[in-house]
Amino acid sequence: MEFSKEEFKKEVTNNLKVLFRRSIEDASQVQLFQAVAYAVKDYIVDMWMETHKQYEKQDAKTVYYLSMEFLMGRALGNCMINLKAYKEIREALEELGIDPDVIEDTEPDAALGNGGLGRLAACFLDSLSSLGYPAYGCGIRYKYGMFEQKIENGYQVEVPDNWLKNGNPFEIKRAEYAVEVKFGGYVKMVRDAVSGRDRFVQEDCQSVRAVPYDLPVVGYGNNVVNTLRIWDAEAINNFNLDSFDKGDYQKAVEQENLARTICEVLYPNDNHMAGKELRLKQQYFFVSASIQSAVAKYMKNHDDIRKLHEKVCFQLNDTHPTVTVAELMRILLDDYFLEWDEAWEVVKKCCAYTNHTIMAEALEKWPISLFKALLPRVYQIVEEINRQFENMLKEKYPGNGEKIKQMAILYDGQVRMANLAIVGGFSVNGVAALHTEILKKQQLRDFYELWPEKFNNKTNGITQRRFLLHGNPLLAEWVTDKVGDGWITDLPVIRGLVPYADDAEAREEFMKIKYQNKLRLTKYIKEHNGIDVDPNSIFDVQVKRLHEYKRQLLNILHVMHLYEKIKENPAMEFYPRTFIFGAKASAGYRRAKAIIKLINSVGDVVNNDPLVAGRIKVVFIENYRVSNAEWIFAAADVSEQISTASKEASGTGNMKFMLNGAITLGTMDGANVEIVEEVGAENAVIFGLSADEVISYENNGGYHPRAIYERDSEIHRVLDRLVDGTYSAGNPQLFRELYDSLVDVDQYFILKDFRSYEEAQKQIEARYRDREGWARSAILNVACCGKFSSDRTIEEYVKDIWHLEKVTVTM
C-alpha cells in the first residue's frame, strides 16, 4: 500500500480529538503515542484482513507456533520499518511538531517474554510474515510479564511490569473466538445420544473462558500481516451468589480468582507447589485454547478431521507447550469421536518439537499427582500413550529395563514432557549443529537410536530488520551504501562488504559509526546509572539471562582479578575497559541474584577507586530488554559468549552482536561454533574447554576445583575477596555461597577455564590496540553473518518440517 503523509497526519490529529479530546499542543506523551499507534494500526488493518482472505482463498497450510514467550519489544518502530514507511512517518510527525524519538520511547516493551526463547519466537514471526508464509503465534497475554527489574543497593528487586496500564493500541480483542478451558474435577464416561458411542466428560471442574487478543505481525514491504494471538482468561461466572449466601466467600469468587492468576505473570516462582500448579495451568490454558481455535478454524472450511495435518502444523517451542500432544488427542477423541488409532495418526503428523536445552533440569517434568488432579482427562490420555509406547519398547528391547527408565513418559512419579513430545511428534530439532549432535549422542540418544528420521538441526537466527535496520540506523545506512538494500530481505547479500575490510577509508567510516553508537550508549548509561564511561574504552559486553552456566560469574571474577593486578602495579600497561552487564535472574533463583549483587558491589568499589580511575568501569544496566538491547548491540566492541561448552543450545545474542560488528569472545559452544566457521577463527577469540572435554569430566570425574584454588595464588586471592569483606563491607559472608560453589563443586568449570579466559582477554586488548586490524575483523563479522538470519532458519523449517506455501497479497 502506498503511504500518504497527509492522510497519516490527518489520522493522528483526528485520533487525538476523538480519543482524548486533545490537540497536539495539550496532549500528553502517552496520548500522542496512542494517537500515532492507532493511525499506524489503521494503515495495517486492511492488509491484515486481505492477508487472511488470501489464506482462506488459497486454502493455505498454516503453522501454529506455540510458545510461552514472545519477546516482541516495541511494536511501533517495527511496524514503521516493515511498512517501509519509517522515514515518511518520522517526517510526518516532525511536520506536526511531534518528536518521533519521544513517541517511540514512550511505548512500553510488550512484557510477553524474558530471554532468548521469546526473542527467537518474535524473530520467527517477523520472518514468517516477511517471507509470506501463513502463521499464527500463540501465547499468553500476561498482565505483568516476568517483572520489571529494579536495582536497589545492588540487589535485584522485582516489581510488576504493568505494560498494559494505558492499554495496547495494536491489539484487537476477538471475543467471538473465545473458548472454554477446564481444570480439575473428575472424568465420567457417558453414552452420546447422537452417535450412540461412549465418550468422556469432565465434571465438577473449574472453567475459564480463554479470550484471544490479536496483534499484527507485519511482513517487510510485502503487504502480508500474520497474527500473534495471545490469550487472556476471564471468569465464566464472575460471582456465585449461592456460595456467598452460604458463607463460602472464597468459593463465590473462585472462578474470577482463577482467571486472574492464570495470566498475571510469566514464569511464576515454582519453588513451591502452588507455583508449579500455576505454571501447569498456564501451559495447558494457552495450549488448549490455541488448539481448539485452530481445529475450529480448520473445520470451518473442511469436513474431514483426519486430514488436519494437511493444513495445520503445531510447532512446540521447547517443552512448555508439549501438552499439545495429549490435548489434541483429547479433542479428536472426545469432540470428534475418532477411534484411538485414527486420532493418534493425526496427532503424530501434526506435532513438531523444538528442543532448546541439553540441561536435564530444564526438560520439564510434572509430579503425576499434580498433573492427574489438574488435568484428569488429559492424564488418562497420557497414561494410554505411555502404556502403548512402553509395550512397543518391551517388544523391541526385551528385558532392557534401562530403556524404559530413560524413555518412558511416566516414570518415577513424574510426567516427562520432552518424552511426550518426541513420542507424539514427527520432528525433533535442535537449534545449533553442536546442540543437535549432543542431543543425539547424549540427552536424547535412546530416542535418536529408535527414530533417527525424526531428528534434524535448525540453527537459530535473528531478524536483521529489527537488530540492524531499526536498531543501528547509522550502520544500516553504511551497509546499504556499500552493497545496496537487498540485505534487508536477503542477509547473505551483506557478504559484499568483504572487500571493504581491506579498504582504509571504509574501515575509518566503520569505526566512526561505532564511536557514535558508543556515544549514544554512554549517554544512556549516564542518565540511568549515573556513571561516566569513556567511549574510547573497549566496550566489553555480556547481556543475557542470568544463569550460572552462562558464567557471568567468570566475567566478574576476571574484573576482580584485573582490579587486583592494577592495584598491585599501578604502572602496568592496560587499555581502558568498560565492562557492561545486563541480566534478569528468575525471582526464585537465589544464586543468580547473588551474582547480580556481586557485579554491582564490584562496580561500586572499582568505579570509586581513584587508583583505577579511567582504566576500568563496571556497569550493570537495569531492566535489560529489547529496546535498550538495540543500543547495546550497536555500541559493543566485544561480545561475551562464555557459557560452559555443551550447555548453551544456540544463543542468539551472539548473532546480534556479530551483525553489529562486535567480535566474539567465547567458548566453542552453541552457535559460536558456526560463527567461527563463518567468520574465521582469526576474527574471533576462543578459549576454554571443549564440549567433549566438559562432557568427559561430567561423566568420568577427575575435575577438582579446590586443587586449582590451592595451587594458583592469584585465583586464590580473587576467591578470597568474596569472603573477606572487600565487596561486602560489614557482611563478609554475603558471597559465601558463591565462594563455596566454586571451591567445592564448580559445576560450570569456572576455575578450570579462568586462565584460558584471562589469556583470551589479553588477546582482545592486543587486537584492539591495532585499530586497523580490529576494524577489519569487525567489518568481516558483519559481512559474514548472512547465515544467521531467521529468514534462513524459517526457510529450513518450511522445507523440512512445515511444508508451507508462500502467499502473495496485493493491495
Radius of gyration of the CA atoms of the chain, in A:
27
**Could you tell me which of 726, 722, 752 has the C-alpha nearest to residue 738?**
722
Query: What would the DSSP string read from start to end of 638-685?
Result: EEEE-PPTTT-S--SHHHHHHHTTPEEEE-S-TTHHHHHHHH-GGGSE
Exposure b/e, 268-290, CB count within 10 A at least 16 = b? bbbeeeeebbbbbbbbbbbbbbb
652 is catalytic: yes
Q: Give the separation between CA 71 and CA 48, rounded to whole angstroms.
A: 21
Catalytic member of 435, 465, 550, 625:
550
550 is catalytic: yes
Residue pair 228/113 in contact (Cβ under 8 Å)? The answer is no
Query: What would the DSSP string read from start to end of 744-770?
Result: II-TT-HHHHHHHHHHHHHHHHHHHHS
**Per-residue 3-state assignment (H helix, E strand, C coil) for 480-540:** HHHHCCHHHCCHHHHHHHHHHHHCHHHHHHHHHHHHHHHHHHHHHHHHHHCCCCCCCCEEE
Catalytic member of 41, 90, 309, 356:
356
Q: Give the separation between CA 489 and CA 1, rounded to whole angstroms.
A: 18
DSSP state, residue 142: -
| Distance, C-alpha 57 to centroid of its chain | 33
Catalytic member of 652, 667, 726, 793:
652
544 is catalytic: yes
Q: Give the separation between CA 353 and CA 623, rounded to whole angstroms.
A: 31
403 is catalytic: no
The residue assigned the cell 544467521 is 788
Q: Residue 571 to residues 123, 615, 622, 762, 768: CA-CA distances in angstroms?
A: 47, 11, 33, 17, 20
528 is catalytic: no
Catalytic member of 182, 276, 518, 545:
545
**Per-residue 3-state assignment (H helix, E strand, C coil) for 315-365:** EEECCCCCCHHHHHHHHHHHHCCCCHHHHHHHHHHHEEEECCCCCHHHCCE
The residue assigned the cell 488436519 is 308
Bridge-based pairing state of the strands 62-66 and 198-203 = unpaired
Q: Give the separation between CA 631 and CA 474, rounded to whole angstroms.
A: 12
Catalytic member of 435, 458, 465, 656:
656
**Could you tell me which of 71, 67, 80, 59 has the C-alpha nearest to residue 5?**
80
**Could you tell me which of 648, 602, 618, 654 has the C-alpha nearest to residue 748?**
648
Q: Give the separation between CA 652 and CA 115, rounded to whole angstroms.
A: 10
Grid cell at residue 775: 576494524
Residue pair 418/364 in contact (Cβ under 8 Å)? The answer is yes
The residue assigned the cell 543468580 is 592
- What sign results for the dihedral spanned by CA atoms 278, 272, 355, 645? positive
Number of Cβ within 10 Å of residue 457's Cβ equals 18
The residue assigned the cell 451468589 is 241
Q: Give the separation between CA 481 and CA 505, rounded to whole angstroms.
A: 14
Q: CA angle at residue 540 from 469 to 528, to 5 degrees?
A: 75
Bridge-based pairing state of the strands 414-416 and 538-543 = unpaired
Amino acid at position 596, single letter: I
Longest dimension (CA), the chain: 90
**Could you tell me which of 155, 133, 146, 165 has the C-alpha nearest to residue 626?**
146
512 is catalytic: no
Amino acid at position 45, single letter: V
**Could you tell me which of 428, 338, 355, 422 has the C-alpha nearest to residue 385?**
422
DSSP state, residue 225: E
Which sequence positions are flagged as catalytic? 356, 544-545, 550, 652, 656
